[in-house]
Structure 1
Amino acid sequence: MGNANEYSHRTLSLRAITWPLFIELFLQMIMGSTDTIMLSYVSDEAVAAVGVANQIVFFAILIFSFISTGTAVLISQYLGASRHLDAKQAAGISVTINLGVGLLVSVLMVLLQKPMLGMFQLESGLLGMGSTYLTIVGGTLFFQALLVTVSSILRAYQFTREAMFVSIAMNIINLAGNAVAIFLLDMGVQGVAIATAVSRSAGLGLTFYFLYRRLPIKIVYSDYVSFRWQEIKKILRIGLPAAGEQLSYNTSQMAMTAIIALMGAAALTTRVYTWNIMSFILLFGLAIGQGTQILIGYKVGGGDFEGAYRQLLKSLKYSFVITIFIAILISIFRADLLSLFTNNRQIIDVGSQLLLLCLILEPGRTLNIVVINSLRATGDAAFTVIFGVISMWGIAVPASYILGIQMGMGLTGVWIAFIADEWFRGIIMYFRWRSRAWEKKALVDKQETAAS
């Protein structure tokens, strides 16, 4: 137990936790586009086929995240309460659950690949390439299920640098694998799929290596097979609402994309290019949000509600300053950045207007991300999903149609709808935080902690 006692004094600052998270998120974003860029050397059809197949893959990965999110919050609260045995038992249970879910999803991906791809009405050539990709990448998704879970455990233990190293290694392996498969072996889509699967399996091996090297009390076989339903309920109490909120966001974005499609191909292309640039602003908010979630989980677990309350306010100051600075920088060079993607003057002009609107949009989005992550860390996850669904489907989607289509404002109208949704949700979540109602939602019971 000596190691655990030493560990309980290991408290990192927000900055120390957040910078590896930022690099990890950045690398994940880069890895997502690596396949597309390198496949463009094969053919446009290969890019289209893999793009469609990846929509199915990304939806499956969303299923895995609800266990990993709940696990991260529960472990953070247990560690804050110095309940190290409970923390490592929760970690073991979550690995087993997501392995089971991952194996089921992998089997379904292989068996139902044709019907799933058939929904997209693909031509026979594209369908064949999509099936090849989905058989290999979809069939090995259980690697990703475990990878997501073990990485979230490492982050909850504040080992964010180790999770970052895993992302670096995966990017290198994926890039090298793609290069060999495409340029040396001429394997096309099949080679890219194999490289993706190999990089994920290698990343999984590395995460387990760090898990057993770094954890103060090692996870043992009994932790993986002892199903304590009380713990599973706690994980699901956070994970299910988090997954519901993400699902609502993704489907509302699809609905808004369908609305943009009514404006024509140029509007869709403008949305894609602008969104890619905006993603770099979002990364900072996501990293600070995840880092704050870890710290607040520790404070709530230890019963330090005042410290948790102040931590959110401090994190918001940092995130606002960074987000506004990056948004201003991007707005200054907006035309130059869009010119990297296209020479179409209309797309550059409209995209430039949208990037200017990001000066209003992005602070609201950051407010949303940081406060929602913090509320989730306290155990107050149901509130965030209820108001998230109300705002996304009650404001963002209908306002996009009214402003963009009926009032003829085009993409500017859609972006105004984005702004209204993000700020409405952000302000509601902020007042929820100020109300301190979350203090009664902790997953770790004080009496339970005292007894243990």
Structure 2
Amino acid sequence: MKLELKIRYGTVSLLDKYFTGESIDYKKIFAIIMPIFVDQAFLILMSLLNTAMISSAGVAAVSAVSMVDSLNIFLANVFIAVATGGTVMVAQYKGSGNGAMVSKTATQAISAVTIFAVLISILVIIFHMPILNILFGQAEAEVFHNAKIYLIGSCISYPLIAIFQAITGSLRGVGNTKPCLKLSLLMNLTNTILNVLLILLFKMGMEGLVISTILARTLGTAASLIYITRYNETFHFKIKNALRIDYAILKKVMFIGLPFAAEQIFFNGGKLLTQTFIVQLGTLALTAFAIANSIAMLFQLGPNSLGIASVTVVGQCIGRRNIRDARKFTNSLIGFSAILFVIAAAVLLPLFPLLIKMFNAPDEIIPTIFIMILISAIAQPIVWSQSFIMPSALRAAGDSNFTSMASLVSMWLLRVVLGYILGITLGFGIIGVWMAMIVEWGSRAIIFNMRFKGKKWYAHKLV
């Protein structure tokens, strides 16, 4: 009993030391983190299961999903970036105690994100064939056919996921993460259940994947709109208010959102370009890359959650102009993230033989996939957290222009150029491309650390 009390007291003391400040205490921080963690766990597990299920339709289907998902991430991150601008502004207004501006900002963010998503969706549907030919023209015919079906279906669902992301982003900005969890569970469990029915049971392959995605996102979006319209008292959201554009508020949202959107366009454009020269290495290399990425997401589950939570936590500290707390919590979240990576490696690396069976991977690519996962497991505790959580914290303080420029330079000079040199020119193949990604993480970590040590990142006054 005494030992138990000592352990409990010691744990509370550590939490107080690293996660309690003048702005917020550890109980509130972990109340923000835990629903996000569960949400991310389900998102990643659902993604793993979906990739495993579509693998039953063959290697061509897995390759097509991997190819188009890189394009989907590239496009979707444009409107998610604008939603992040809303999250930052909502968090800062929450921190400053301005409830009226919290509501107005959330409404304008939802409107802006919806407009962006509809425009992107229309343009990609119109020009889908030229886009696929430019990016993946060297892919095998069956892979290309599957990619075409998946891309059009994804485009139809863009406005749905955009509205969902804007709503949940605004809710996270005020620290209201439990409804985000429930809405995400509803959408992702529906998606998985439909995938089981349409892909595994009815053998509909790529068409089944597309139908389940659209139906699940329709349900998730409808549920999120009903929630903020009828049950949420923080935003007082009304459709008629969303139809009126308030340019003063929108300008502040875009100050954060547009540089981040530009960053996402060029950052994910670089990843997309990387994907095009992976296509040159053949379908097996593309499949190995897709499976390795899916497994690597499991390692990033906890740290990703901390990165998302950092926007709310740091944003609220900056809203109160408490720079000391903003610095303290950023460092604490990065340290906690490194610990989570070590734990994930200790648990997941021994489970690799079981994980790889989920994907029906050809025997000849399994050693390559393991090497890629091992490289990530070693590098992530050292560089990933500072490479991804720290820029989220900087962005929450309004330092969006710097983080965007730094990310673009490191992406194009290292992941793209170095990836091509190592993977194609020097002949290291998919391992070379993967190593270039690790080097790029390291460069970002150094750049953002230097910025964080100075004063310019918190000099922006948005509220």
TM range (shorter): 0.7 to 0.9
**How far apart in 1 are the matches of 2:141 and 2:28?**
54
Task: Select the residue among 208, 211, 221 that pairs with 1:204.
Answer: 221
Deviations 1:346-405 (A, max 9, x none): 534343333332244212112211101000000001111111122222233333344445
Structure 1 residues 196 and 34 mapped into 2: Cα distance closer, same or farther (>3 Å)?
farther
Given residue 289 of structure 1, which amino acid in structure 2 is its aligned partner? G
- Which residue matches 2:400? 381
Task: Select the residue among 257, 265, 268 that pairs with 1:247.
Answer: 265
**How far apart in 2 are the matches of 1:191 and 1:408?**
38
- Which residue matches 2:181? 164
Q: What is the DSSP-based 3-state SS (H/G/I as helix, E as strand, rest coil) of the residue aligned with 2:245? A: coil
* TM-score w.r.t. length of structure 1: 0.84
- Residues paired across the two proteins, number: 437
Deviations 1:86-116 (A, max 9, x none): 1110111122222223333343344444444
Structure 1 residues 326 and 190 mapped into 2: Cα distance closer, same or farther (>3 Å)?
closer
Shift of 1:319: 0.9
> Is 1:17–2:37 an aligned residue pair?
no
- Which residue matches 2:166? 149
- Which residue matches 2:100? 85
Question: Percent identity at matched positions?
Answer: 25
Compute the RMSD of aligned alpha carbons. 3.3
**How far apart in 2 are the matches of 1:35 and 1:345?**
21
Shift of 1:288: 0.4
> Is 1:69–2:84 an aligned residue pair?
yes
- Which residue matches 1:275? 293
Structure 1 residues 365 and 188 mapped into 2: Cα distance closer, same or farther (>3 Å)?
closer
Given residue 85 of structure 2, which amino acid in structure 1 is its aligned partner? G
Given residue 94 of structure 1, which amino acid in structure 2 is its aligned partner? A
Mapped contact 2:51–2:359 kept (Cα < 8 A): no
Mapped contact 1:365–1:422 kept (Cα < 8 A): yes
Matches within 5 A, 1:32-431: 32=47, 34-40=49-55, 54-119=69-134, 120-121=136-137, 134-182=151-199, 189-212=206-229, 213-220=231-238, 223-260=241-278, 266-334=284-352, 337-338=355-356, 341=359, 347-363=365-381, 364-407=383-426, 409-431=428-450
Structure 1 residues 410 and 180 mapped into 2: Cα distance closer, same or farther (>3 Å)?
closer
**How far apart in 1 are the matches of 2:442 and 2:85?**
26
Structure 1 residues 406 and 95 mapped into 2: Cα distance closer, same or farther (>3 Å)?
closer
Matches within 5 A, 1:433-452: 433-444=452-463
Structure 1 residues 342 and 207 mapped into 2: Cα distance closer, same or farther (>3 Å)?
closer
Structure 1 residues 257 and 198 mapped into 2: Cα distance closer, same or farther (>3 Å)?
closer
Mapped contact 1:53–1:133 kept (Cα < 8 A): yes
Structure 1 residues 400 and 77 mapped into 2: Cα distance closer, same or farther (>3 Å)?
same
- Which residue matches 1:447? none
**How far apart in 1 are the matches of 2:143 and 2:427?**
36
Deviations 1:259-292 (A, max 9, x none): 5555565544433333222111122221101111
Given residue 323 of structure 1, which amino acid in structure 2 is its aligned partner? F
Higher relative contact order (CA 8 A, sep 6+): 2
Structure 1 unaligned segments of length 5 or more: list them: 1-7, 445-452
Mapped contact 2:56–2:360 kept (Cα < 8 A): no
Mapped contact 1:69–1:152 kept (Cα < 8 A): yes
Structure 2 unaligned segments of length 5 or more: list them: 1-22
* TM-score w.r.t. length of structure 2: 0.82
Deviations 1:227-283 (A, max 9, x none): 232221211111122222223332322344445555565544433333222111122
Mapped contact 1:327–1:362 kept (Cα < 8 A): no
Deviations 1:207-245 (A, max 9, x none): 123324233351245632442322212111111222222
Mapped contact 1:154–1:211 kept (Cα < 8 A): no
